[in-house]
């Protein structure tokens, strides 16, 4: 393979995954305009930047999952890890949401939430609190950690994968996730997402895979 072909192969290593629904499917909680920018500009930029950064590094032939898992134990490479983390987190985030409407966890998943949080309501309050307490940019998560469901938050591009936790659901609390629709009202955005957009089936499938 010549140098030019090699560069092109590497450049297409990481791809922007398709959005799992139409860009207006999350309205009225998240507008089409927010999704256009968030998915079409921000998420795409993380993937494109990662593809520019990895050639010639130890990560040139690594999958996105592998790069992200190495984040916590490999010094340096901050730009690669930030863009890889954000690429991974956003792909997971879009799947954590579903088109707006009433939805409840299955009886089995509800049982897990009740066992580990006390009630569905307590879980929702805990997730909203994690999303609100995260200072500046970051993420709120439902994870499986030590055999229990837990709510955690991470800063910037950090992800539960690097802390030995299995992500089940994610909420993006970077301003770009809500600013066009909610300005500075992160709490209102987060509450609406939790009430109307969480993809319980995705969370349950992630839990089954992790078990």
- Summarize as ranges the residues that interact with Fe ion (CB under 5 A): 172, 174, 177
Cβ at position 92, least distance to Fe ion in Å: 11
Q: Which is nearer to Fe ion, 149 or 157 (CB)?
A: 157
Q: State the residue number with the nearest CB to Fe ion.
A: 172
> Crossing angle, helix 120-133 and helix 107-117, to 10 degrees?
70
Which lies closer to Fe ion via its Cβ, residue 38 or residue 98? 38
Q: What minimum distance in Å lies between the beta carbon of 47 and Fe ion?
A: 12
Q: For Fe ion, give the closer residue by CB, 36 or 208.
A: 36
Closest approach, Cβ 86 to Fe ion, in A, equals: 7
State how far the Cα of 145 lies from the Cα of 161, in Å rounded to an integer.
10
At its nearest, how many Å lie between Fe ion and the CB of residue 43? Answer: 7
Distance of CA 159 to the CA centre of its chain: 8
CB nearer to Fe ion: pick between 59 and 178: 178
Measured at the CA of 108, the angle between CA 104 and CA 114, to 5 degrees, comes to: 75
Min dist. Cβ of residue 32 to Fe ion (A)? 16
Q: Please, which residue, 67 or 177, has the CB nearer to Fe ion? A: 177
Separation of CA 165 from chain center = 14
Nearer to Fe ion, 172 or 204 (CB): 172
- Nearest approach, Cβ of residue 132 and Fe ion (Å): 17
């Amino acid at each position: 393979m010549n140098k030019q072909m090699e560069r092109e192969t590497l450049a297409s290593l990481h791809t922007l995954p398709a959005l799992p629904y139409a860009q207006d499917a999350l309205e009225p909680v998240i507008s089409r305009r927010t999704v256009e920018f968030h998915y079409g500009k921000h998420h795409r930029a993380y993937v494109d930047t990662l593809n520019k950064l990895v050639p010639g590094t130890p990560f040139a032939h690594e999958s996105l999952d592998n790069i992200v898992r190495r984040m916590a134990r490999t010094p340096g490479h901050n730009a690669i890890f930030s863009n890889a983390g954000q690429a991974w987190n956003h792909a997971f985030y879009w799947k954590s949401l579903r088109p707006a409407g009433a939805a409840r966890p299955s009886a089995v998943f509800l049982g897990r939430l009740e066992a580990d949080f006390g009630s569905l309501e307590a879980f929702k309050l805990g997730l909203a609190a994690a999303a609100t307490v995260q200072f500046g940019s970051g993420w709120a998560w439902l994870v499986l950690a030590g055999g229990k469901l837990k709510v955690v938050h991470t800063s910037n591009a950090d992800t539960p994968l690097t802390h030995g936790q299995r992500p089940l659901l994610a909420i993006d609390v970077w301003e770009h996730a809500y600013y066009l629709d909610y300005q500075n009202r992160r709490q209102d955005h987060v509450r609406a997402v939790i009430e109307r957009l969480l993809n319980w089936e995705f969370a349950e499938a992630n839990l089954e895979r992790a078990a």
